[in-house]
Amino acid sequence: MKVGMKMSKIRFIHTADLHLDSPFKGMENLPNKILKKIKESTFNSFAKIVDVAIDETVDFVLIVGDIFDGEDRSLMAQTRFRKEIERLYNNKIQVFISHGNHDHLGGNWIEISWPENVHIFSSENVTSKPFVKEGKPIANIYGFSYSERAVRENKTEQYVKSGDAPYHIGMLHGNIDGNSDHDNYAPFTVRELLSKEFSYWALGHIHIKQSLHNNPPIIYPGNIQGRHRKELGEKGCYIVEIDELNTKTTFVNTAPLIWEAIEIAINDITSYDDLCHYCEEKIKTIRSDSKAKLIHLQIIGIGELHHLLQDKQVVEELISYLNEGEEGKDNFCLVTSSKIVTRENWDREALKEKQHFTGEVLKMIESNEDLIEEAISPLFTHRKAKKYLEDLDEERKKELIEKAEVELLMDLLRR
């Protein structure tokens, strides 16, 4: 920055992971009205982000990767996205775009034209683009796009300050090093980003909003709409204001649908009617006046209802009962998935310490948990089967082990 240059204030939107045109797999059996709202949700959330940008009179919008859910970028998704970009153009708001692993540049799609306010980082190498206001460069914005789905290279060395603008903003669609829950694409560390002395780091790729550092801010905004039961809570974008003294970030919830998880313990519940009542009361506590909710119901605990809940038909009828009348509501609360983690009343630790076969089995389970990898690896390497299987994360592996243990113990204790 040149000596004596005044530090102008800038205001912008930071969003990422729009995943427009997400297929929402596994929801085909939901009522048509609700299914339509679900499939429209990513588009409606982005439209709300554009509303926020216009209402807040921001200078520009940053979209950090995975605008489209698939590398084919359907024409419908592209044209609907362009329609919203045109609204920003009509309000003199610039848009800076990078593409990520889902909508990488190596995909196969039909190109369409974009308004003049759109600036796309079209190189696999980091480049910079200026944001100019009233004829003066106010910010240099740096970014790159994925050339293929899997970019394993650490790109941080390519982010180098240039130009005389007072602010420098990095756009990076990548994985914080050490996070094993996500594909390790374009990995980086917080220390590496801080060494660049940028004003703000606009991240993408992780679908949970989180701040990795406060000054300067290094932020994942999360995705703009939860798409399954693991993407819980509010989704949206950040409004960012930067001046020479302060940086202010404000999260705005724009998702029309929110995924929630509720948990019911059966320890003190002795009848099916009471279970229905407890579930209804719990759902009442999360109902919103303006937002629809998609609910994952987990029933846990030790109690008399355990055997009843092993009957899949009973669980299906419980869900049908809870969902009655929800289809006609704009703020519906719909149970879309469930998990039963109940068991009979036994003392696991006491069983493990006893000198009998059941105790030996429990000790063997604890000492051989790694064998699950050996047991399932043929499935995941099978030429045909692997196409239909999702990778097992640590949480899912633990679930499988616990479920197998409960079923085995129940069988042994009945003998």
Concatenate the DSSP letters of all residues of 5-54 into one string. -----EEEEEE----BT---TT-TTS-HHHHHHHHHHHHHHHHHHHHHHH
Residues 26 and 151 in one domain: yes
Residue 3 included in any domain: no
Report residue 228: phi and psi, to 5°. -160, 180
Report residue 106: phi and psi, to 5°. -85, 5
Residue 31 included in any domain: yes
- Please give the residue range of the domain that contains residue 232: 10-253
Residues 233 and 323 in one domain: no
Flag the least confident range among 212-226, 338-352, 393-407. Answer: 393-407
DSSP letter, residue 208: S
Residue 5 included in any domain: no
Mean pLDDT, rounded, of the chain: 91
Q: List pLDDT tens digits, range 17-51.
A: 999 999 998 899 999 999 999 999 999 999 999 99
Residues 362 and 331 in one domain: yes
Residues 181 and 211 in one domain: yes
- SS3 state of residue 400: helix
Residues 236 and 186 in one domain: yes
pTM assigned to the model: 0.83
Percent of the chain at pLDDT > 70 equals 91
Q: So what's the pLDDT on residue 196?
A: 98
Q: Which of residues 253, 268, 287 is at a domain's end? A: 253
- When pLDDT is averaged across residues 151-180 and rounded to a whole number, the result is 94
Residues 243 and 271 in one domain: no
Residue 350 has pLDDT above 70, yes or no: yes
Q: Which residues of 388-412 are buried (b: 16+ CB within 10 A; e: fewer)?
A: eeeebeeeeeeeebeeebbeebeee
Single out the residue of 193, 253, 245, 255 nearest to residue 37, CA to CA.
255
- Would you state the structure tokens that stand for residue 42, as one six-digit string? 């990513």
Residue 23 included in any domain: yes
Cα Rg of the chain, angstroms = 25
Residues 283 and 190 in one domain: no
Residue 407 included in any domain: yes
Question: What total of structural domains would you count in the chain?
Answer: 2
Residue 318 included in any domain: yes
Flag the least confident range among 40-44, 180-184, 211-215, 325-329. Answer: 180-184
CATH number for 55: 3.60.21.10
- When pLDDT is averaged across residues 290-297 and rounded to a whole number, the result is 95
Single out the residue of 294, 277, 166 nearest to residue 231, CA to CA.
294
Residue 14 included in any domain: yes
Residues 102 and 225 in one domain: yes
DSSP per residue, 131-176 = EEETTEEEEEEEE---SSS---S--GGG----SS-SEEEEEEE--B
- In a 13 Å sphere around the CA of 26, the CA atoms on its Cβ side amount to 5
Burial class (CB in 10 A: 0-12, 13-18, 19+), 372: middle
Residues 6+ apart with CB under 8 A from 209: 219, 220, 221, 222, 234, 235, 251
Select the more confidently predicted residue: 25 or 63. 63
Select the more confidently predicted residue: 359 or 46. 46
Residues 233 and 280 in one domain: no
Distances from the Cα of 250 to the Cα of 15, 60, 66, 236, 239, angstroms: 12, 15, 22, 11, 5
Q: So what's the pLDDT on residue 362?
A: 74
Residues 203 and 93 in one domain: yes
Q: So what's the pLDDT on residue 393?
A: 72
The pairing of beta strand 236-242 with beta strand 218-220: unpaired
Residues 204 and 241 in one domain: yes
Q: So what's the pLDDT on residue 381?
A: 75
- When pLDDT is averaged across residues 273-281 and rounded to a whole number, the result is 98
Q: So what's the pLDDT on residue 4?
A: 47
Residue 365 included in any domain: yes
Q: List pLDDT tens digits, range 389-413.
A: 666 677 777 777 777 777 676 666 5
Q: Which of residues 253, 278, 296 is at a domain's end? A: 253
- Report the Cα 360 to chain-centroid distance in Å: 41
Residues 107 and 137 in one domain: yes
Q: Which of residues 235, 253, 271 is at a domain's end? A: 253
DSSP per residue, 344-365 = -S--HHHHHHSSSHHHHHHHHH
Compute the residue count for the chain. 415
Going by pLDDT thresholds of 50, 70 and 90, the confidence category of residue 249 is very high
